Structure 1
């Protein structure tokens, strides 16, 4: 109570009781792949440091309330684990007294209308087509947050309550000024991520490339077998899926991160992880890339794959310290936490006074 009173006397927003709902697919934080789960873990830690009371609901280790003893990662694509997760969450919320629910799952927001507290939903993926229809159908039951301006623009017909960039805990990423002379591609093996294009770019400049990525889903296996495996060999090394330790080692040592994106990705966590290590990013300017990478400062943003080899050769002109400072200023956890605090207080006030959409827009 003393801390709550201090905050109310001008030392920041009043502490809140927050139920944080993670998706069911990976642990929080994840041992390997899991961008949403990493973001959720960092957000929870940051909120707790700011004096908020957070109850984390998810699967596996690291959560306060568990819907699955082991995350059903092998069943990604099957709707039932997501639906069962949502049903269990609703029962758990009945026993909690919270000021706001922050839901990162897909099916969970369907229960928002029956919740006593307002629900904030972060849209982590596509917001067009049927997904856009879904978010619009949720209506006033939820307050929707975009993770980039690019995503928000693509969902122009969605009634957003704000835009908050994802973040990383910069202090946990090792900074390295002197880089080794090879290129890194890091992600999941999907046509959207363009691993085969990264190999072609590396070969065009005669440089070694290391690939580290997830290929646990059927579509990832099919893409790897058809487009990546035939290109492995001299100068191309696949090291498997990188856990947190290996990921940091690779990101800190690489000459650059190559990001030949083939879709309008709403936010690429790998880019800010690389720059946090002082490693520049060479990317195609799709989705959120232009608002994450400062072209000519923390990397190079280009319009065509044919332009990437020249950009790879030019990264030596960029300052690793500037890359890290860029992330610390715009994409560190405290920046994200303050932005979500604004969102939470906005929707709580909106619940009391009418509509959160009459209050100032939240941005990070």
Structure 2
């Protein structure tokens, strides 16, 4: 398919603003006050789309915090019920009724869903003539793969990395749009302090125990910050993290937006020793925009996000991490920030999704091998 989208639609089509129903889970505010990677991305996407002239109605929970028209469907956010199927199902029912009302009263052009259960509403939206776009924020293997396969062609899936899409090439992908952020909302610091940082959920897949081992071998303290509230997270922490910690290390806990920025901008490096197919990894671009390099294990989208040898070091084995920590201390913080500004700014997010929306609304055939997406930026393959 040609990348010239204007050839597929009548003159002036691109100037027409779209009416977008945006759906997020009910667990956190948008943008989130602390934990909430999906909510952070959606906040930037919504604002970018509004700045591009589109009309966005956001369905979720909590307090309004974006430029969209916000419709809260719960009295409060539901963070304590994350992982419980009940809020997912009830939220999907409430969203469907709210979108049906919106379509009748004001009109809607498409639905963009960021939840897990919400795409089950796609047949009902199709009856209203509305396409459903689903961003796949999580894994696409095993049970998740079977779920997305069962959704069928009524949902157009958007991958957040090339690696995620490659793991399930037969799913009905509409394209790939990397996650992004707003550079102006993040600090930049060239003078780093004497600590490495782990920032993420406490689980074996995220590897905080490997971060501790690597930091100790490199002779540098480690600050650990992130989510450790659910029973499996607490059990993992007690068995694998707590016994490894020394007096020089610090367990910070869950960092809010301000604390996260301070920790990231001051760290010598971010440790990202993942042991699973991470679909993207927002914390990597959050670190780099602060001028902080990333030391990561190869996996998931790491090689799409980090420029190996320039904005971080990608290792193939945990034994390589200590030397990488020492090496990245010589890297240029300005190069880290420039990489994110050039390739992961919020405008690329809004533009990428706008192209997906236009393609669907132009009734272009979308399927495997027949998609439009932003080209992978030069230098984003993991090499300079």
* Shorter-chain TM-score range: over 0.9
Q: 1:255 to 1:239 in 2, by over 3 A?
A: same
Partner residue in 2 for 1:363? 374
Q: Which secondary structure does the structure 2 equivalent of 1:55 belong to?
A: strand
Q: How does 1:308-319 map to 2 (within 5 A)?
A: 308-319=321-332
* Counterpart-to-counterpart distance in 2, 1:242 and 1:164: 27
Choose which of 212, 224, 231 in structure 2 pairs with 1:199.
212
Partner residue in 1 for 2:3? none
Q: Which secondary structure does the structure 1 equivalent of 2:307 belong to?
A: coil
**Is 1:283 the counterpart of 2:293 in the alignment?**
no
Partner residue in 1 for 2:39? 37
**Is 1:62 the counterpart of 2:64 in the alignment?**
yes
Q: How does 1:1-364 map to 2 (within 5 A)?
A: 13-62=15-64, 64-96=70-102, 97-115=107-125, 116=128, 117-350=130-363, 355-357=365-367, 360-363=371-374
Q: Which secondary structure does the structure 1 equivalent of 2:325 belong to?
A: helix
Q: Which secondary structure does the structure 2 equivalent of 1:363 belong to?
A: coil
CA contact (8 A) 1:15 1:52 kept: yes
CA offsets 1:137-156 (integer angstroms, 9 cap, x no match): 11111110000001001112
For structure 2, list consecutive stretches of 5 or more residues without a partner in the other structure.
1-9, 376-384
CA contact (8 A) 2:227 2:253 kept: yes
Scaled by the length of structure 1, the TM-score of the pair is 0.94
CA offsets 1:209-259 (integer angstroms, 9 cap, x no match): 111111121111111111112222322101110000000001001000011
Report the alpha carbon displacement of residue 9 of structure 1 after superposing the two structures with TM: 7.5
How many residue pairs get aligned? The number is 354
Report the alpha carbon displacement of residue 205 of structure 1 after superposing the two structures with TM: 1.1
* Counterpart-to-counterpart distance in 1, 2:15 and 2:27: 32
CA contact (8 A) 1:13 1:341 kept: no
CA contact (8 A) 2:158 2:173 kept: yes
Partner residue in 2 for 1:4? none
CA contact (8 A) 1:166 1:331 kept: yes
* Counterpart-to-counterpart distance in 1, 2:164 and 2:234: 28
CA contact (8 A) 1:349 1:356 kept: no
* Counterpart-to-counterpart distance in 2, 1:315 and 1:360: 38
Q: Which secondary structure does the structure 2 equivalent of 1:317 belong to?
A: coil
Q: Which secondary structure does the structure 2 equivalent of 1:252 belong to?
A: helix
Structure 1 window deviating more from structure 2 (107-116 vs 58-67): it is: 58-67
CA contact (8 A) 1:346 1:359 kept: no
Structure 1 window deviating more from structure 2 (135-144 vs 32-41): it is: 135-144
Q: Which secondary structure does the structure 1 equivalent of 2:46 belong to?
A: helix
For structure 1, list consecutive stretches of 5 or more residues without a partner in the other structure.
1-7
CA offsets 1:308-356 (integer angstroms, 9 cap, x no match): 1000000122110010010011111001110000000011112xx6x33
Structure 1 window deviating more from structure 2 (85-94 vs 218-227): it is: 218-227
Report the alpha carbon displacement of residue 13 of structure 1 after superposing the two structures with TM: 4.4
Q: Which secondary structure does the structure 1 equivalent of 2:200 belong to?
A: strand
Report the alpha carbon displacement of residue 157 of structure 1 after superposing the two structures with TM: 2.0
